[in-house]
Structure 1
Amino acid sequence: MGLVVMVFAAPLLQVLLVNRSPWGGPDLVTLAVMWLALARGPVWGCAAGLVAGLAADVTPPADGTVGRTALVLSVAGLLVGFWREGRPLPVAAAGAAMGVLLQAAAAVALGDDPWTAVVPELPRTLGWTVVLGALVGVLLLRRRPRRIEPYRV
């Protein structure tokens, strides 16, 4: 339940806290989607990406194409949900990196931001998001109960 609430709260926290900090910070919307996909699977990850992405697209100051973040995060959440059975650290880090990089690529491809605006902010945001995503992703997967296989005679 807490992860679902975080998906709805992440765009607001991103705008109010992280975007105003002078040293940058992680992309909380991407992290919320990745954590839910790791904890619940591909369907929840895709749905969370759609909901959180649309919320992030319309949260002021909305300056880009509506639906861009929703598309990117729903694809990233779906893929992370499928990959979650592997090793937790690489999956969480790769999912967080994929979300940030795909958002930057989509912003440039759709003409919302020029490369000169995206590239200087990308390393700092990518670093914060990957490190935080990997750490919490490992904790989430260790907390998840193992699936019990039925005994066959």
Structure 2
Amino acid sequence: MTERKPWNVPFESWVERQIRLAQERGDFDNLEGAGKPLPHVDDADENWWVKRKLAAEGLSTEALLPPSLQLRREIERLPDSVADLPTEQAVRDVVADVNRRIAEYIRAPSQPVVPVHRVDVDAAVAAWRARGRTR
């Protein structure tokens, strides 16, 4: 199916022709799952296939959240994510990266608009130090 659609042929007609030719060649014969019901057809969740793909790839469904909520979650988890960093500079670098993405979001917010504020670098470093002493 590497053939390009001619400019003067309507798109729908070209696609239907490609399908018809493939059927005539038998490209759709003996496909895996032929004659079996489609999985998850009765699922109430319309995004079942997205969640299934993310699970198969070992990814979190958090990737489906809007950027504002992703940033909120990242800010909430920041103390845990910097806890094992070896140096103060590494903590400052991580917080600076988060703050950069927050600034980008603030400049061009997307829906839903959720208030997101920059992280205080010194407070994050202080929390990192205090957490390191308690271990």
- Do both share a fold (TM > 0.5)? no
Q: Bin the TM-score by the shorter chain.
A: 0.3 to 0.5
TM-score, normalising length from structure 1?
0.32
Bigger helix fraction: 1
Structure whose alpha-carbon radius of gyration is higher: 2
TM-score, normalising length from structure 2?
0.35
